[in-house]
Amino acid sequence: MSARWFLAAAALLAAPALAQDSEMPDAALLADRFEYALVAGDYRVLDLTEDFTYIENGAQLDPWDGMWRTTTAVEGVSPAAFAGAFTLDYRVGIDGPDEVVRVVEYEENGVRGVMAYRLLAREGKIARIDVLPIREEFGGDRGGTITLLQPMLPFTMGGGNVGPAVHFVAGAANVDAALMAESMTNYLEAMAADAPQLRHELLARFAFSESCVREDNGQRATGVADSAILDPSQPSFSPYALGCREQVLSGFYSNYELANLQLHLDPERATGIAFVRLDQPGTKLSFTTPEGIEIAYPGPRGVAQDADPSEQFDGRVLDNMITPMSVNGVFLFAFDRSGAIAHIDAFYRGAPLGWDAVPD
């Protein structure tokens, strides 16, 4: 057995919260145990139902494959034993009696990312775990599988950009659950709405705070005054310079189709978590802003006449919003005391079109 297993197993047994469990632990305690076991690389320390199912990236795996072999640190799990955990600080969760949903920063062999998972418990045992790992991506020599199976996204995961989840720690309290669910759903439906009038109608059903900010894979995606333009022929338009409402209203996200949505709510902490799949059919090459400006989506349209293909690429990974793909992700919403959306954290990764990694 590896030294990693011995260290993590010892940490698992020594953890005070885990040593004082009741005869039938709740789902939150089982989730804590899962995180320790994942770092240990050994599921045998867990109480599992006979029909236990482990799903990673939408594929059913044996509970010793995938991330069980590669995870070297999880935020909050034994930083004394695993040095990588000292640099991790993002954790948001919604714990229920039989279901836990968490978004936690983690590390795989030095590669950082965010792990979104849902754990289902039954009679004090773990019945199912769905994990969506959103890993750090690199260009250049460390490019790995980037762009091999899907186009490049405008914002890829960069582990160093993910800071503490300060917007989800001390939020407002007791926001109406129905209001939260309606706001989250309408926001995501408005993102993917093709018709301008429909976007207006959906956005009119909920509110954003004046200071609302959206971050994508750890990078700020709204209100960035000096952000890059999308279409070189229209230098006056940058979607990332817009506010939360104006960005959706612009039609920027209308190349997507909302394919799957699962909501989880914590009204007491005014936090919502939405698993979502967004399909990019690749059939929409441009959109028109409310000002009537047609904006071309970035992506491959062939080599310009007499151009050198090496100069067109020159080592960079280019945004591609016109090639078929699916985006699997998790959106976290923080609400203010009035019930307005105050902050959005979006973590996602690309996949071949139709690939569904969102929990059932």
Instruction: Note the pLDDT tens digit of each residue in 198-207.
Output: 999 999 999 9
Q: What's the pLDDT at 355?
A: 92
pLDDT: which is higher, 98 or 142: 98
Higher per-residue pLDDT: 303 or 111: 111
Q: Does pLDDT of 15 surpass 60?
A: no
Position 299 confidence tier, pLDDT thresholds 50, 70, 90: confident
pLDDT recorded at residue 109: 85
Per-residue pLDDT tens digits for 305-336:
555 555 544 444 457 888 899 999 999 999 99
3-state SS, one letter per residue, for the chain? CCHHHHHHHHHHHHCHHHHCCCCCCCHHHHHHHHHHHHHHCCHHHCCEEEEEEEEECCEEECCCCCHHHHEEEECCCCCCCCHHHHHCCCEEEEECCCEEEEEEEEEECCEEEEEEEEEEEECCEEEEEEEEEEECCCCHHHCCCCCCCCCCCCCCCCHHHCCCCHHHCCCCCCCCHHHHHHHHHHHHHHHHCCCHHHHHHHHCCCCEEEEEEEEECCEECCCCCCCCCCCCCCCCCCHHHCCHHHHHHCCCCCCCEEEEEEEEEEHHHCEEEEEEEEEECCCCCEEECCCCCEEECCCCCCCCCCCCHHHHHCCCCCCCCCCCEEEEEEEEEEECCCCCEEEEEEEEEEECCCCCCCCC
Domains in the chain (CATH in brackets) are: 3-135 (3.10.450.50), 172-351 (3.10.450.50)
pLDDT of residue 153: 80
pLDDT band at 213 (very low <50, low <70, confident <90, very high): very high
The predicted structure's pLDDT at residue 1: 44
Give tens-digit pLDDT for 166-196: 888 766 678 999 999 999 999 999 999 999 9
